[in-house]
Amino acid sequence: MTPIQILNGSGLGHFGKKQKPAHGGRLKHGRGNSKYGGGTSYSHGFPKAKPYDICLCGNRRSATISTGSLNEMGHTEMEGAKQRVLRPGMVLLKRYITHKEQVEIVKKCRYLGIGPGGFYQPGYQDGAKLRLQMMCLGMKWDPMSRKYDDTRPVDGSEPPCIPREFSLLVKRAIQDAHALVKKEYHVSNVEDILPLTSPDICIVNFYTTSGRLGLHQDRDESRESLCKGLPVVSLSLGDSAEFLYGDQRNVDNAERIFLESGDVLFFGGKSRHIFHGVSSIIPKSAPKALLEETRLRPGRLNLTFRQF
Ligand code: SIN
Ligand code: MN
């Protein structure tokens, strides 16, 4: 993201109030490896954090994912859903991710999330906590330093790789977004409007129903990536979110949309630097079938892909 960067000296917008420091200040840094054993013990100088399980299963076996790959799971649900170009470089594919794909994504995120480098509640430089659980895939983004790295300073763990199925889904979604842009703008080169990307970073956020994220820009990726306007690709699963975006860090002037389970949002090109944030999560809005099959906790799972 630079996902969660604080937007001014005074902190987040009113819906993004930071939580009080849970640990009274900065955690110590160093090398080591996280374990998901829980408790308050230390391993190689790092506090062993209790893993956050995004599902209510409590059963290790249910974390096992099935063998099918996402791109073999059927068609997208473009037909009938409202696909929209919100502004140049910003495209919303409504209910794009199939139910089956959503189930697989939740299961995989749950599986990775309880392992090394999995979900944790990150903090800012001043010790305040973000109101979400985060896990990075591919590269680690650190909200404290606002930098990408190979390991996570809080426990020295390496981020898991981005599952191939996720990358294939993003690739397919970009092709469909391009088709939509072409229809809307009648341009010969759609990549001028929405550049092509090969994401090597995925930041996975889980918001409980009280979770939120203040208005911010994603601008910690490489200068080249930002200059080219390589898009952020965002997948939403579970409960819906009220998502705000605009050209300024101003909640009152921001546009508001609802991101529902299965939606894919792109912001690249001229929209790469929009301010955006999540003002609220809508309780009990997740598809029932998804909850039944995954036992996903109340809340919202969001994956944002970007190319460093
Ligand atoms: C982010 O900006 O990093 C996440 C946005 C979202 O949760 O939709
Ligand atoms: Mn962001």
Can you list the domains of the chain with their CATH numbers?
A: 82-119+130-306 (2.60.120.590)
> What kind and span of H or E run contains 289?
helix 288-294
pLDDT, position 154: 82
pLDDT, position 220: 97
**Position 4 confidence tier, pLDDT thresholds 50, 70, 90:** very low
What is the rounded distance in angstroms from the CA atom of residue 265 to the CA atom of residue 105?
16
Q: What's the rounded mean pLDDT across residues 110-123? A: 96
For ligand 1, what atom is nearest to the CA of residue 4? 3
Distance (angstroms) between ligand 1 centre and the Cα of 278 equals: 7
For ligand 1, what atom is nearest to the CA of residue 265? 8
Contact (Cβ atoms closer than 8 angstroms) between residue 100 and residue 73: yes
Pairing verdict, β 241-246 and 133-137:
unpaired
304 lines ligand 1 (CB under 6 A): yes
Identify which of 43, 204, 196 has the alpha carbon closest to the alpha carbon of residue 113: 204
At 7, phi and psi to the nearest 5?
Answer: -90, -20
Which residues belong to the annotated binding site for Fe cation?
216, 218, 276
**Position 191 confidence tier, pLDDT thresholds 50, 70, 90:** very high
Which residues belong to the annotated binding site?
216, 218, 276
Which two tokens mark 4? 């969660």
DSSP lists the bridge partners of residue 278 as 213, 243
pLDDT, position 195: 98
Proximal ligand: closest to the CA of 202: 1
Ligand 1, atom 3, residue with closest C-alpha: 3
**Position 50 confidence tier, pLDDT thresholds 50, 70, 90:** confident
Q: What's the rounded mean pLDDT across residues 80-108? A: 94
269: number of Cβ within 10 Å: 22
Identify which of 232, 235, 244, 227 has the alpha carbon closest to the alpha carbon of residue 301: 235
**Position 24 confidence tier, pLDDT thresholds 50, 70, 90:** very low
pLDDT, position 82: 82
- The pick from 54, 109, 213, 275 for probing ligand 1's pocket by mutation, whose C-beta has the most ligand atoms within 8 angstroms, reads 213
What is the rounded distance in angstroms from the CA atom of residue 76 to the CA atom of residue 231?
21
Instruction: Tell whether pTM > 0.75.
Output: yes
Residue-wise pLDDT tens digits, 261-298 = 999 999 999 999 999 999 999 999 999 999 999 999 99
> What kind and span of H or E run contains 237?
strand 232-238
Residue-wise pLDDT tens digits, 136-163 = 999 999 999 999 999 988 889 999 999 9
Which two tokens mark 190? 């759609």
Residue 194 has pLDDT above 60, yes or no: yes
Residue 207 has pLDDT above 60, yes or no: yes
- The pick from 276, 280, 281, 306 for probing ligand 1's pocket by mutation, whose C-beta has the most ligand atoms within 8 angstroms, reads 276
3-state helix, strand, coil in the chain (%, to 5): 20, 25, 55
pLDDT, position 153: 84
Q: What's the rounded mean pLDDT across residues 207-222? A: 98
pLDDT, position 68: 40
For residue 287, CA distances in Å to 92, 236, 240 come to 19, 12, 10
Contact (Cβ atoms closer than 8 angstroms) between residue 25 and residue 134: no
For ligand 1, what atom is nearest to the CA of residue 236? 8
**Position 57 confidence tier, pLDDT thresholds 50, 70, 90:** confident
Question: Cβ contacts of residue 210 below 8 Å, gap of 6+?
Answer: 131, 281
What is the rounded distance in angstroms from the CA atom of residue 264 to the CA atom of residue 198?
16
Distance (angstroms) between ligand 1 centre and the Cα of 6 equals: 13
For ligand 1, what atom is nearest to the CA of residue 1? 3
Mean predicted lDDT score pLDDT of the chain: 83
Residue 72 has pLDDT above 90, yes or no: no
